[in-house]
Amino acid sequence: MIVLETVRVPASRWLGGILIDNEKLASSLRAFAADRDWDQFHTPKNLASAITVETSELLEIFQWSRGQKKWSDLDAPDVRARTEEELADILLYLIRFADKAGIDLQRAAESKLALNAEKYPVERFKGSDKKYNEKVE
Ligand SMILES: [Mg+2]
């Protein structure tokens, strides 16, 4: 069993070094949906579709770059603003989906990270872009 070091923050979550308060965002999203009577539309399929659409919108920012985009390209204010918006859209739909499903995102993410560490042991996959079930030289 692999135990990953984690940061424990009650009722809050860390993502990218930034404190994300899942409970506060989930509560805001509940109110946002209730005010508009949109809860009826927040089915598993619709929210999963929304997550896919938003991740596609993130990809669209870098479409046609043929891999030439670099992290420094995000220093351009317009690119950075669009990227921030799409990341926020993805995060909000993730939180909304998890909230409706009663899934603890922190626990689920930690569990998946541990599983990935088992599938991709450092000694076998360091510097490799192979998938776990592909042969690594
Ligand atoms: Mg969007």
Instruction: Provide the pLDDT for residue 106.
Output: 86
Ligand 1 centroid distance, CA of 114 (Å): 30
Helix residue ranges, H only, the chain: 22-36, 44-61, 77-101, 105-119, 122-125
Ligand 1 centroid distance, CA of 42 (Å): 16
Cα gap 101→107, rounded to integer Å: 14
Higher pLDDT among residues 127 and 134, named by residue = 127
Ligand 1 centroid distance, CA of 80 (Å): 14
> Could you tell me the pLDDT band of residue 100, with boundaries at 50, 70 and 90?
very high
Instruction: Provide the pLDDT for residue 1.
Output: 41
Q: Which of 53, 55, 61 is nearest to 83 (CA)?
A: 61
> Could you tell me the pLDDT band of residue 88, with boundaries at 50, 70 and 90?
very high
Which residue has 């891999």 as its token pair? 67
Instruction: Provide the pLDDT for residue 13.
Output: 53
> Could you tell me the pLDDT band of residue 9, with boundaries at 50, 70 and 90?
very low
pTM: 0.81
Instruction: Provide the pLDDT for residue 11.
Output: 45
Ligand 1 centroid distance, CA of 18 (Å): 20
Instruction: Provide the pLDDT for residue 133.
Output: 83
Ligand 1 centroid distance, CA of 87 (Å): 8
Q: Which of 16, 27, 25 is nearest to 84 (CA)?
A: 16
Cα gap 83→89, rounded to integer Å: 10
What would the two tokens of residue 89 be? 């859209």
Interval 12-70: pLDDT, tens: 555 555 677 888 999 999 999 999 999 999 999 999 999 999 999 999 998 887 667 78
What would the two tokens of residue 22 be? 């899942």
- Burial (CB count within 10 angstroms: exposed 0-12, middle 13-18, buried 19+), residue 93: buried
